[in-house]
Amino acid sequence: MRRPGDGGVPAPLLVPAVLAVAFLVLPLVGLVVRAPWSDLGSRLVEPAVGQALRLSLVAATLATLLSLVLGVPLAWVLARSRMPGRSVLRALVTVPLVLPPVVGGVALFLVLGRQGIVGSWLYETTGYALPFTTAAVVVAETFVAMPFLVISVEGALRAADARFEDAAATLGADRWTTFRRVTLPLVAPGIAAGAVLSWARALGEFGATITFAGNFPGTTQTMPLAVYLALQSDPEAAIVLSLVLLAVSLATLLLLRDRWLGRAVTT
Amino acid sequence: MRRPGDGGVPAPLLVPAVLAVAFLVLPLVGLVVRAPWSDLGSRLVEPAVGQALRLSLVAATLATLLSLVLGVPLAWVLARSRMPGRSVLRALVTVPLVLPPVVGGVALFLVLGRQGIVGSWLYETTGYALPFTTAAVVVAETFVAMPFLVISVEGALRAADARFEDAAATLGADRWTTFRRVTLPLVAPGIAAGAVLSWARALGEFGATITFAGNFPGTTQTMPLAVYLALQSDPEAAIVLSLVLLAVSLATLLLLRDRWLGRAVTT
Amino acid sequence: MTLDARLTVQRGGLTVAVELAVADGEVLAVLGPNGAGKSTVLRVLAGLLRPDAGRVVVDGDQLWDAAGVHVPAHRRSLGMVFQDHLLFPHLSATENVAFGLRARGMPRARARAAAAGWLDRVGLGDLGERRPGQLSGGQAQRAALARALVGDPRVLLLDEPLSSLDARTRLTVRAELHRHLAEYRGSAVLVTHDPVDAMALAGRVLVVEDGRIVQAGTPAEVARRPRTDYVARLVGLVLLPGTGSGTSVALEGGGTVAVAEEVTGPVFAVIRPESVALYLERPAGSPRNVWPLRLVSATPHGSVVRCDLAGEVPLTADVTATSFAELGLAPGAAVWASVKASEVAVHTR
Amino acid sequence: MTLDARLTVQRGGLTVAVELAVADGEVLAVLGPNGAGKSTVLRVLAGLLRPDAGRVVVDGDQLWDAAGVHVPAHRRSLGMVFQDHLLFPHLSATENVAFGLRARGMPRARARAAAAGWLDRVGLGDLGERRPGQLSGGQAQRAALARALVGDPRVLLLDEPLSSLDARTRLTVRAELHRHLAEYRGSAVLVTHDPVDAMALAGRVLVVEDGRIVQAGTPAEVARRPRTDYVARLVGLVLLPGTGSGTSVALEGGGTVAVAEEVTGPVFAVIRPESVALYLERPAGSPRNVWPLRLVSATPHGSVVRCDLAGEVPLTADVTATSFAELGLAPGAAVWASVKASEVAVHTR
Amino acid sequence: GTAGGTTAPSTATADGGPTGTVTVFAAASLTDVFTDLGAALEDQQPGLRVQFSFAGSSALAAQLAQGAPADVFASADQAQMAVVTGAGLTEGEPAVFARNELEIAVPAGNPGGVTGLADFADPDLTLAVCAPSVPCGAAAGAVFAAAGITARPDTEEEDVRAALTKVQLGEVDAALVYATDVRAAGDAVEGIPFPESARKLNEYPICTLAAAPNPAGAQAFVDLVRSAAGQRALADAGFRTP
Ligand SMILES: Nc1ncnc2c1ncn2[C@@H]1O[C@H](COP(=O)(O)OP(=O)(O)OP(=O)(O)O)[C@@H](O)[C@H]1O
Ligand SMILES: Nc1ncnc2c1ncn2[C@@H]1O[C@H](COP(=O)(O)OP(=O)(O)OP(=O)(O)O)[C@@H](O)[C@H]1O
Ligand SMILES: [Mg+2]
Ligand SMILES: [Mg+2]
């Protein structure tokens, strides 16, 4: 349906929206302007950059998938079940957001490190140590990114009309079927938003990753780590690397979101 | 309305939800167990800690407010207007999430610094330099946190039933009134979620703050900065400081969210 | 399959306390004014709302009782039409109708075929691919009906399933529903505001007012002997409660009505609108019941005009369009109404 | 204030092309089958949907035209009842009704008082503090009606505003609406499926089928001379298109009907169900029109039973409950139907 | 397995040279020099691969405490090396292989007109130093104390690089950083040496680790760093060599 009068954004919305765009986009423009573009070509062909970029994308995507698999059910439990202590749980889940990522990395060691609560048992029985592996990158990014998904999906679930779930129940759908076939599609835009947030957060993750996974080119060195190192020696290179990361994520988001949101429901 | 069968969370949802909670909460438990609790008392009375904590809360709250004021209108424009180039705009707004925060701080300098596009003009006309002030902390945190708000509010807006806005229009409400009195309350849970995300992200912000605002106790040293510096010399102290930050944010979220969400609509 | 329920539930100040039993293959129509608690009863029967007390038994299976038994909605084998349809906005009409079959494990192709068949039966054969947002109000209601009927559930709960249909479609869909219900072996509860629906579809009628049952029986019984003003108006009669003594009834609202037989005690005097004659001046003649009244409203109704009259004895009169035109009445006009005593039916309260 | 519109709009395969004019203080009823485009027309008039061509003019003000004029909904001074109410879920009933007044700048206290007044008038006086989710279907519909009426808008667009009301409430709300519309000085468009609503409330009727106007006129005209089967059934008549020659009409569906007057050319033969008599065996007598038919369905309708008949000439017959009982008919039974030639009305197509 | 093939068995070739992969945990400020030295070592020992993990010294120390698979640890200060040594993770004594001294960094053209350490007491200038808890901050504190100056910085940076970035952007008028950083920063930054800098030199210790999967390779790398060639490379980067 065409919705008329759409061009007309009211001024009290337009002015802050323009300010917001300026505020978020101008710094990027600044970076683009300042970047030593002449270096760009030579930098892009460096195999280390390609490696780091590939690793970043793979790890962030895996972390997002893991966040979806674990986080969407958690959001559902927070929004829909009548468990006691839900509000405490909700706050607890939010809290990792506040943790300085480096401390988050330390905390991950305490659980999943070779001497950690779970990790020591794992190490003793299988000889497998998680830290300093590519898997550790994914775990660190998931730890940092999942709360974003949980909180935004929970918000979407709360806003969704629960009566459709009643209707599904009268049609014989158990809660799981209802979840899959009704709830999930209805909150698809919220999940998409949450996934974008998680992915972006995971892609930009630095502190927890460098702590928990280390900084090994090819295995655990993601773009933000590469940027960090570049900052040590050649800040301009760091800017170029950041812009590469930005460009790739911009392209990905443009491709992905439009396709995803295209499928979402418009009531 | 009481919704029956609520105790029964289906296993395919319960299992991942429990895993998610374990994954997010166990590391915190690890931190709590490992923390040198005997130090806690002495540390809490250190004036620097109180200062940093207060500054963190104030700055994160201001950043969240600023994000709300600017970000909600932007989300609305992204979700509702028919502007050309919206999807590019949406991706552009997401991209700061990916920027390593330190680079974000550099980018802010390029715009708002003494030599920046806007900042140099400000400095020349008024003699005011934003960097290294408390205001700079707020700006840096806003830059990092606002995208979270924008994306999750936009998701909520997309999921909301736009026909209520039609109904408001037939009642003589212009788009601004409709926005305030219909859209905003309908997406309140989404806004609450976005605000929580922004607040938490701002509270944990480190890289952009230390770059753009610097680190000076009392003016720009927030808790994450204090934690980071403590990590350099006394990792156990850093854990204690982190836990203080966690506890305070946990308490805030518990108080605030329940009150806020209590007011939100339940259709 | 038998549905047997007794339930008490608090609903925003109203206490709904209802007992009902629906035998195998029987259709129970629930009638009642807005806010009487009809939808509330259906929600309880469906298991979407827990009552405060009572029990719900289907076919001997306890579905709910105060002791803690609660079979959730999805295990009750229901077919339900919600008053506001609640079609899934993200699914096409066919997918909506096939949803229940799929949820109960039918393979996709078979479910879609069955859904398409039902859509056809309600006249939506060519709109199967539409999303609910792209259907008109009446089309959506028919899709909701098809969705409820398709699975051959044990219990059918239909909340005003025909209210948005146009007159012609209503006829055909009602006929379709009638055909289906005639063969249907479960219990069906139909909430409706249309007495024609109730008469055409239901074997028994339950009238609910203010959360309680005020009358129950076959449609004919209820129509013949209405016990509340609501029912009387529903079936197009005027109901005047009063106290009989001899051949006259002293009305509760004031005034008396002369009747043909001797009556005593609390009774209802029932007057058919067709039996009320209107005059501009006081008629001199045999009818013993003559009242001066005021015309409140006049609405054409087929070939007659239905006149609502206010005064000592509030009446409704049906007069032919011709005579109405001859009287030249306008709302607010004063008229005389007369009813022959032999036209007044009386039944005890 | 005059509403004057001509619009063409594409809607999921259907082309809606309608022209309508509503004078000051006039009420136009739009009737038509499900999916005919009635709601679509209202959406265009409201400015919620842009037509593909045409114009919408109120009181001489161009609200929309193909050249690019588009006055958005909120500046059109509307009162609209949506088919699915669309009450704001986060506001109480009073706040919902007061919304339009507040949006147009009335102070809060006055707006609430006006809203409370209107809620009272639709019988929701004590439910003002309820959220829409806590109202029954009929209560919500009345709140929606109050919300549309309260602001004294220039144009009223009512999409089935009475469909969920129980019979008694419907009477009182219809009377209230009638009173309001009688004094109302703007233009009102009322979509309804109930011919009684149309007759009671509207001065003129527009019948829309498949997106086009098939008939227009006063309710009486339309009822007297229906031009489509839909209209005929709506007003309880049987419409048989055919070609007249002499005193007989050769029907398009087959068969002939004897009529009293001489007719030629394309005509409609119109039969009142009351004039159809039913027999178990072929009657021998004066009526020239006698057809063997099959009973499809029989629904009690007040004191008569309405019988739908299928066969060469599809008919509807109204017989008294008594004689219906005497005939002992069941659906599917074979009957003979007869109509006196003098009872068949004819009008040219 | 652990990352980077560090579990590859380390054997000695026939001529006694180490093979396999050697993993070096090194302070981020050593990135450029060590990367070059690693390449050089790979050239010398064809069977050997050198892999680095650069990060802040404290992060590296924490990782080592968690059993990170490393052969060599090169710290940017004694304190973090002490953490590792204290945990019993080192093999043998750490050796100081480089020192670094402070220098004043100003933006190109010196817009603030900074001439010496005394300018750090000027409240009108925008000044950056390192936080007291990080090595360069401790050094700065010592230097100010020695010079009897009460510094009035606007920001206490978490590391030298952060301070230097602000100089490069022209956002501070001066920062107290290491000479090596001024050297690496190129044209955008000018260095102003000052006499008091010698009062407090920052020491870089290096050590092989007890749990080293490749002790031979580890020793080879440490030897290279401490060799004449290694020391030359460090000096070229602006370090003072012991
Ligand atoms: N969620 C709710 N919370 C509180 N009160 C409610 C709620 N839903 C309905 N009610 C009230 O309960 C009463 C019964 O509502 P119900 O929906 O059962 O009526 P109904 O008989 O279906 O009416 P209608 O014919 O208008 O649909 C009404 O007075 C209504 O206002
Ligand atoms: N959003 C839409 N997209 C596509 N087609 C639509 C949409 N809304 C309605 N239609 C179709 O347009 C036609 C007209 O719909 P409309 O809602 O105007 O019918 P209506 O006359 O109001 O019917 P009803 O009496 O059932 O409410 C219908 O066939 C419907 O399926
Ligand atoms: Mg109801
Ligand atoms: Mg409609």
Say what the pLDDT of residue E16 is. Answer: 65
User: What residue spans of B46-174 are helical by DSSP H?
Assistant: 47-80, 86-94, 101-112, 119-126, 134-159, 163-170
How far, in Å, CA of D178 to CA of E99, rounded? Answer: 97
Contacts (Cβ under 8 Å, ≥6 apart) of C113: none
Residue D35 alpha carbon to ligand 2 centre in Å: 5
Say what the pLDDT of residue A257 is. Answer: 61
How far, in Å, CA of C256 to CA of B95, rounded? Answer: 84
**Whether the Cβ atoms of residue D20 and residue D55 lie closer than 8 Å to each other:** no
Q: Which ligand is nearest to the CA of D11?
A: 2
In a domain, A132, yes or no: yes
As a whole number of Å, the CA-based R_g of chain D is 24
> pLDDT category, C50, cuts 50, 70, 90?
very high
Say what the pLDDT of residue C178 is. Answer: 87
pLDDT surpasses 60 at D87: yes
DSSP for E58-70? HHHHHHHHTT---
Number of domains forming the structure of chain B: 1
Return the minimum-mean-pLDDT range out of A83-92, A174-183, A198-207, B159-168.
Answer: A83-92
Which residues form the pocket of ligand 1, taking CB atoms under 6 Å from any ligand atom? Answer: B 1; C 11-12, 14, 32, 34-40, 83; D 133-139, 166
Q: Which ligand is nearest to the CA of D165?
A: 1
Position in ligand 1 atom list of the atom nearest CA C38: 21
Say what the pLDDT of residue C120 is. Answer: 94
pLDDT surpasses 80 at B19: yes
| D173, D247: one domain | no
D-contacting chains (≥3 CB pairs under 8 Å): A, B, C
Say what the pLDDT of residue A265 is. Answer: 39
Give contacts of A164 with chain D, Cβ < 8 Å.
none
**Whether the Cβ atoms of residue D263 and residue C196 lie closer than 8 Å to each other:** no
Number of domains forming the structure of chain C: 2
Residue B39: Cβ-neighbour burial (10 angstroms; 0-12, 13-18, 19+): middle
| D230, D297: one domain | no
| D142, D212: one domain | yes
Please report, to the nearest 10 degrees, the dihedral formed by the alpha carbons of residues C32, C34, C35, C39 taken in order. Answer: 70
pLDDT surpasses 70 at C241: yes
pLDDT surpasses 50 at C60: yes
Q: In this structure, is the dihedral angle defined by the CA atoms of residues C314, C320, C326 and C329, taken in order, positive or negative? A: positive
In a domain, B237, yes or no: yes
How far, in Å, CA of B143 to CA of B120, rounded? Answer: 19
| C47, C190: one domain | yes
**Whether the Cβ atoms of residue D231 and residue D207 lie closer than 8 Å to each other:** yes
Any atom of ligand 2 within 6 Å of the Cβ of D163: no
Residue A120 alpha carbon to ligand 3 centre in Å: 61
Q: What rounded mean pLDDT belongs to chain D?
A: 89
Q: Which of C216, C234, C252 is the endpoint of a domain?
A: C234
Any atom of ligand 2 within 6 Å of the Cβ of C328: no
Question: Which of D7, D11, D191, D193 has most ligand 2 atoms within 8 Å of its beta carbon, as the pocket-test mutant?
Answer: D11
Give contacts of B215 with chain E, Cβ < 8 Å.
131, 155-158
Distances in Å between the alpha carbon of A187 and those of A68, A190, B82, C252?
13, 5, 22, 58
**Whether the Cβ atoms of residue D187 and residue D2 lie closer than 8 Å to each other:** yes
Residue D135 alpha carbon to ligand 1 centre in Å: 5
Q: What is the mean pLDDT of residues D85-105?
A: 94
What is residue E165's three-state secondary structure? helix
Contacts (Cβ under 8 Å, ≥6 apart) of D281: D336
Interface contact flag, B170 D48, Cβ < 8 Å? yes
Residue A135 alpha carbon to ligand 4 centre in Å: 56
> pLDDT category, D118, cuts 50, 70, 90?
very high
pLDDT single digits (tens) E19-70: 889 999 999 889 889 999 999 999 998 889 999 988 888 888 888 888 888 9
pLDDT single digits (tens) D242-295: 998 888 899 988 888 988 888 888 888 888 888 888 888 888 776 778 899 998
- E14 φ/ψ angles, rounded to the nearest 5 degrees: -60, -35
pLDDT surpasses 50 at E10: no
From C194, E159, D321, select the one nearest B211 (Cα to Cα): E159
Burial A97-110 (b: 16+ CB within 10 A, else e): bbbbbbbbbbbbbb
Angle at D269 between CA D263 and CA D271, to 5 degrees: 135
- D301 φ/ψ angles, rounded to the nearest 5 degrees: -150, 90
**Whether the Cβ atoms of residue E104 and residue E139 lie closer than 8 Å to each other:** no
The Cβ-side half-sphere exposure at A139, using a 13 Å CA radius, reads 25
| C223, C250: one domain | no
CB atoms within 10 A of CB A192: 24
Q: Which domain holds residue D181?
A: 3-234
Q: What kind and span of H or E run contains C42?
A: helix C38-46
Q: What rounded mean pLDDT belongs to chain C?
A: 89
Residue that wins the pLDDT comparison between D300 and C247: C247
Question: Which of D39, D82, D157, D158 has most ligand 2 atoms within 8 Å of its beta carbon, as the pocket-test mutant?
Answer: D39
Please give the span between the terminal C-alpha atoms of chain A, in angstroms, as a whole number. Answer: 10
Ramachandran class of C105: left when φ > 0, alpha when ψ lies in -120 to 50, beta otherwise: left
Q: Which ligand is nearest to the CA of D167?
A: 1
3-state secondary structure chain A: CCCCCCCCCCHHHHHHHHHHHHHHHHHHHHHHHHCCHHHHHHHHHCHHHHHHHHHHHHHHHHHHHHHHHHHHHHHHHHHHCCCCCHHHHHHHHHHHHCCCHHHHHHHHHHHHCCCCCCHHHHHHHHCCCCCCCHHHHHHHHHHHHHHHHHHHHHHHHHHCCCHHHHHHHHCCCCHHHHHHHHHHHHCHHHHHHHHHHHHHHHHHCCHHHHHHCCCCCCCCCCHHHHHHHHHHHCHHHHHHHHHHHHHHHHHHHHHHHHHHHHHCCCC
How far, in Å, CA of A240 to CA of A32, rounded? Answer: 8
Say what the pLDDT of residue C301 is. Answer: 64
In a domain, A256, yes or no: yes
Taking the Cβ of residue E156 and every Cβ of chain B, the question of whether any pair is shorter than 8 Å is answered with: yes
Q: Are β-strands D27-31 and D187-191 bridged in parallel, bridged antiparallel, or unpaired?
A: parallel
| D258, D229: one domain | no
Ion ligand 4 contact residues with beta carbon within 5 A: C 136-137; D 39, 83
Say what the pLDDT of residue C1 is. Answer: 59
pLDDT surpasses 90 at C99: yes
C-facing residues of A in 162-201 (CB < 8 A) are: 163-164, 166-175, 177-178, 181-182, 185-186, 188
Q: Are β-strands E102-107 and E174-178 bridged in parallel, bridged antiparallel, or unpaired?
A: antiparallel
Taking the Cβ of residue A51 and every Cβ of chain E, the question of whether any pair is shorter than 8 Å is answered with: no
Contacts (Cβ under 8 Å, ≥6 apart) of C35: C14, D135, D136, D138, D139
| C137, C251: one domain | no
**Whether the Cβ atoms of residue A56 and residue A226 lie closer than 8 Å to each other:** no
> pLDDT category, D302, cuts 50, 70, 90?
low
Q: Whose CA is nearest to atom 3 of ligand 2?
A: C134
Q: Which of D174, D199, D234 is the endpoint of a domain?
A: D234
| D178, D310: one domain | no
What is residue E23's three-state secondary structure? strand
Q: Which domain holds residue B114?
A: 41-266
Q: What kind and span of H or E run contains B30?
A: helix B11-34
Q: Which of C234, C264, C280 is the endpoint of a domain?
A: C234
Q: Which ligand is nearest to the CA of D135?
A: 1
The structure tokens 């994520």 sit at A249
Q: What kind and span of H or E run contains C108?
A: helix C108-121
> pLDDT category, D6, cuts 50, 70, 90?
very high
Position in ligand 1 atom list of the atom nearest CA C36: 21
CATH code, domain with C325: 2.40.50.100
| C61, C17: one domain | yes
Q: How many helices (H) and strands (E) does chain D have?
A: 9, 18
> pLDDT category, D1, cuts 50, 70, 90?
low
Q: What rounded mean pLDDT belongs to chain E?
A: 87
Contacts (Cβ under 8 Å, ≥6 apart) of D126: none
A-facing residues of E in 170-209 (CB < 8 A) are: 184-185
pLDDT surpasses 50 at B115: yes
Interface contact flag, C88 A164, Cβ < 8 Å? yes
Q: In this structure, is the dihedral angle defined by the CA atoms of residues D333, D338, D343 and D344, taken in order, positive or negative? A: positive
pLDDT surpasses 90 at C322: no
In a domain, A22, yes or no: no
> pLDDT category, C211, cuts 50, 70, 90?
very high
From C89, C62, C32, select the one nearest C233 (Cα to Cα): C32
Taking the Cβ of residue D50 and every Cβ of chain A, the question of whether any pair is shorter than 8 Å is answered with: yes
E-facing residues of B in 170-229 (CB < 8 A) are: 210-211, 213-217, 220-221, 225, 228-229
Any atom of ligand 2 within 6 Å of the Cβ of C137: yes
Residue D135 alpha carbon to ligand 3 centre in Å: 9
CATH code, domain with A180: 1.10.3720.10
| D191, D261: one domain | no
> pLDDT category, B129, cuts 50, 70, 90?
confident
pLDDT surpasses 50 at E3: no
Q: What rounded mean pLDDT belongs to chain A?
A: 85
Query: Rounded to a whole number, what is the distance in Å from the CA of A164 to chain D's nearest CA?
Result: 14
| D85, D179: one domain | yes
pLDDT single digits (tens) D97-114: 999 999 999 999 999 999
The structure tokens 């929600």 sit at C43
Q: Whose CA is nearest to atom 25 of ligand 1?
A: C34
How far, in Å, CA of B180 to CA of E136, rounded? Answer: 53
Q: Does chain A reach chain B with at least 3 CB pairs under 8 Å?
A: yes
The structure tokens 């510096």 sit at B229
pLDDT single digits (tens) E154-187: 988 888 888 888 898 888 999 999 888 888 888 8
Q: Which of D34, D49, D193 best tests the C interface by mutation, with the highest count of C CBs <10 A?
A: D34
CB atoms within 10 A of CB E108: 14
Taking the Cβ of residue C160 and every Cβ of chain D, the question of whether any pair is shorter than 8 Å is answered with: yes
Taking the Cβ of residue B190 and every Cβ of chain A, the question of whether any pair is shorter than 8 Å is answered with: yes
In one-letter notation, the amino acid at residue A86 is R
Please state at what angle helix B223-233 crosses helix A101-112, rounded to 10 degrees: 60
The structure tokens 């909701």 sit at C144
Say what the pLDDT of residue E2 is. Answer: 40
Q: Which residue of A164, A172, A174 is in closest CB contact with C100? A: A172
In a domain, B137, yes or no: yes
As a whole number of Å, the CA-based R_g of chain C is 24
- This model of the complex carries an ipTM of 0.86
Say what the pLDDT of residue C222 is. Answer: 86
How far, in Å, CA of B195 to CA of A196, rounded? Answer: 17
As a whole number of Å, the CA-based R_g of chain B is 21
**Whether the Cβ atoms of residue C205 and residue C218 lie closer than 8 Å to each other:** yes
Return the minimum-mean-pLDDT range out of B151-160, B220-229, E7-16, E42-51.
Answer: E7-16
3-state secondary structure B237-250: HHHHHHHHHHHHHH
Say what the pLDDT of residue D301 is. Answer: 63
Say what the pLDDT of residue D52 is. Answer: 93
Interface contact flag, C139 D35, Cβ < 8 Å? yes
Ramachandran class of A218: left when φ > 0, alpha when ψ lies in -120 to 50, beta otherwise: left
Encoding tokens for residue C18? 């209802």
pLDDT surpasses 90 at C171: no
Q: What is the mean pLDDT of residues E212-230?
A: 93
Highest mean pLDDT among A76-85, B40-49, B157-166, C324-333: B157-166
Say what the pLDDT of residue A32 is. Answer: 87
> pLDDT category, B258, cuts 50, 70, 90?
low
pLDDT surpasses 70 at A28: yes
pLDDT surpasses 60 at E5: no
Interface A-B, measured as beta-carbon pairs within 8 A, has a size of: 377
Encoding tokens for residue D122? 């639709």
Question: Which of C139, C162, C170 has most ligand 2 atoms within 8 Å of its beta carbon, as the pocket-test mutant?
Answer: C139
Interface contact flag, B1 C72, Cβ < 8 Å? no
Distances in Å between the alpha carbon of A115 and those of A15, A140, B22, E66?
54, 17, 18, 7
pLDDT surpasses 80 at A62: yes
CATH code, domain with D146: 3.40.50.300
Q: What is the mean pLDDT of residues A57-76?
A: 95
pLDDT surpasses 90 at D189: yes
How far, in Å, CA of D343 to CA of C156, rounded? Answer: 44
Interface contact flag, D89 B267, Cβ < 8 Å? yes
| D102, D145: one domain | yes
